[in-house]
Amino acid sequence: MNDLAAPLTELIDQLKRLPGIGQKSAQRIAFHLLRAPRESVQHLSEALLALKDSLRFCSVCNNITDIDPCRFCSDAQRNPAVICVVEEPHNVLSIEKTRQFDGLYHVLHGAISPLQGIGPDQIRIKSLIERLRATSPDGQPLVREVILATDPDTEGEATAMYIARLLKPLGVKVSRIAMGIPVGSEIEYADEVTMLKAMEGRREL
Amino acid sequence: MPLREADAIILRSYPLKESDKIVSFYTREYGKLRGVCRGARRPKSGFGGALEPLTHVRMQFFERPNRDLCTVDRCDVVASMLETASRDYTISVGLSYIAEIAEKLLPEREVQDAVFRLMLVVMAALRDGAPIWLPLLYDQYWNVRLAGFLPDFSYCAACGAALVEMAGYHPATGEGLMCPDCQHPASSHLGATSLRLAQAMARTPLPQLLTSAENAREAFADLRGLLHERLEAHLEHPLQSWRLLLQA
Ligand SMILES: [Zn+2]
Ligand SMILES: [Zn+2]
């Protein structure tokens, strides 16, 4: 490795920390950037910093956003009566890909994991309950259905069970996505058709 | 690189890199091992739900010389706990506790057929619809006993009198249970119901004990606490799922 100039070695080391990038890919990217015009490298580095500096969590749904409330929460075309609960921000993308869901989201930023000591208080469940307490001017609850789209594994299931138990007394309809997604896998990897089937086949808890 | 086949119970799995999992599992034939399952987080991996905690599986894996981790080639479900865990939140936390005890207590690569059979019995009872609390207690009791640090539930550790109505114990000292006359002033207590159950667990199979399972959460909270303290004292580490179990 010492055959390379120090800045190249440093860049390759940094790139290798990214998911899915091994030594070969890191080298290829590094040499590509070396040959690229200065402006395009500058655009890339600015985009990387902007990602860290301008993004935050939506104050309503906890999704990652550059405007607050986020695009989903401030979109009048979307149906505020249905909230889909997911573990991570990237799960929103998987559900959006189905183009069938027009409700709002709630991002938990994790799942209940007794083995890791992660309990209900460590993920964003409280703010979900607060959202469900909101009523229209005539006193009707704004949210009518909560779809639990946590991962179809032990932790996702435990999280869904816990939330369902909390929501029951609130009188809101609670449903769980169907196990069309193979158990033990992650929603992130589900294709559109599988995800669509999982949403359509949801059962009431 | 010998291919091995084993009867195994999955204890825990962790994500590894983009789409793999590391899994800790307890085999009947080789004891506790850890292995890599390539692609296991992808929907079409073929592992499916087989790597979820407490799944009883038939497993094929390769061991490589001087490597801690084996490579899991194939994993077929014999019996899954996923449906049981989905019954309610409390059961799912209880199952995590049972898995965590095995994961932390069992030494690597040490065969203990009794522990393996214990886990199968406990899981079968839960799959048959038993509430979590009594099977969980049975699992604690036998794990503590098989690991060799179970106190005597029948006779006072100081004077040898039979323990009947109540027994005192002091978690910090690690001494055994004592009758009301011998116990230390700041002792925790075990009531008559729990004493009777602990004595019965030594000789009664779990299915028969289940008839006394009613109200087991409250009735045997003292015994559950004592066994938990024994486990943690022995492990010298907290069991993470205990706190959630108390709140579940
Ligand atoms: Zn939002
Ligand atoms: Zn005594």
As a whole number of Å, the end-to-end CA separation of chain B is 45
Q: What is the mean pLDDT of residues A56-62?
A: 95
How many Å lie between the centroid of ligand 1 and the Cα of residue A131?
11
Flag whether pLDDT at A2 surpasses 80: no
Q: Domain check: are B147 and B71 in the same one? A: no
Q: How far is B74 from chain A (nearest CA, A)?
A: 15
Q: Domain check: are B112 and B74 in the same one? A: no
- Domain total for chain B? 2
| ipTM summary value | 0.89
The CATH number of A64-204 is 3.40.1360.10
Interface subset of B 77-96, CB within 8 angstroms of A? 82, 85-86, 88-89, 92-93, 95-96
Domain range for B180 is 89-247
Q: Model confidence at A1, in pLDDT bands (50, 70, 90)?
A: very low
Q: Domain check: are B113 and B63 in the same one? A: no
Q: Domain check: are B145 and B100 in the same one? A: yes
Class of domain A6-54: mainly alpha
- Smallest Cβ–Cβ distance between A183 and the set B48, B53, B245 belongs to B48
Task: Give residue B138's pLDDT.
Answer: 97
Q: How far is A59 from chain B (nearest CA, A)?
A: 28
Task: Assess B18–A contact: CB distance below 8 Å, yes or no.
Answer: yes
The residue among B53, B80, B107 that closes a domain is: B80
Q: Domain check: are B125 and B47 in the same one? A: no
Q: Domain check: are B221 and B114 in the same one? A: yes
- Smallest Cβ–Cβ distance between A184 and the set B52, B241, B247 belongs to B52
Q: How far is A19 from chain B (nearest CA, A)?
A: 6
Q: Is the pTM of this model over 0.90?
A: no
How many Å lie between the centroid of ligand 1 and the Cα of residue A86?
13
Q: What is the mean pLDDT of residues A97-113?
A: 95
How many Å lie between the centroid of ligand 2 and the Cα of residue B157?
7
* Contact criterion met (CB below 8 Å) for B157 and B174: no
Task: Assess B47–A contact: CB distance below 8 Å, yes or no.
Answer: yes
* Contact criterion met (CB below 8 Å) for B33 and B27: yes
Nearest to A156 by CA among A103, A111, A106, A95: A111
Q: Domain check: are B240 and B119 in the same one? A: yes
Flag whether pLDDT at B1 surpasses 90: no
Q: Domain check: are B96 and B119 in the same one? A: yes
Domain with CATH 1.10.8.420 in chain A: 6-54
How many Å lie between the centroid of ligand 1 and the Cα of residue A94?
16
* Contact criterion met (CB below 8 Å) for A132 and A172: yes
3-state class (DSSP) for residue B15: strand
